[in-house]
Amino acid sequence: MNRDELRKLWQAEETKGFQGWDFSYLAGRMEEEELPWDYKANVQARMSGDTVMLDMGTGGGEFLLSLSPPADYNLSQTAGELKAAGFEVLERREYFPELRFKDVGAFVFFAKIIEWEFAGFSVDRCFERLLELHEAVERDGHVTSREHRFFILARKPFI
């Protein structure tokens, strides 16, 4: 493909709609390393009829983050804030999973969704860098990035 064809292809990815937190459109085009914890199992193990649970940062609340992304959003700070608010931190884990994109269009689609990680991203603004990524995909079969994930299990004792 020539430059103009690539630009049009990537612009189509940039404008593709997205709902919920469903990345199935990228199946086979993006691979995400599994986390060393099972979020669903952690939640199910602690569910009971008399428990109130708060789920934060796992999808659906990203719009609020996009308004003012927290610069120092990290495990230590967040756990400290929970403790200061009277919560007991029961478990805390951190991981930096690898994310592989098998084509640049998949990366473009992802970058438009994860706005707080790719502030100001657009195909036109980043076209030359996207061409460099395209060359890397052609050469290596993928481009790799790292994500930062953490898990905190905390409870606030009833007084």
Per-residue pLDDT tens over the stretch 59-101? 554 444 444 445 567 899 989 999 999 999 999 999 999 999 9
Total number of domains constituting the chain: 1
**Residue 44 pLDDT level (bands cut at 50, 70, 90):** confident
Within 8 A by CB and 6+ apart from 45, the residues are none
Flag whether the pTM goes above 0.75. no
Residue 31 CA: distances (Å) to CA of 12, 27, 122, 134:
21, 8, 22, 17
| Kind of pairing between the strands at 149-155 and 98-101 | unpaired
Task: Name the residue range of residue 20's domain.
Answer: 3-155
Residue type, 14: E
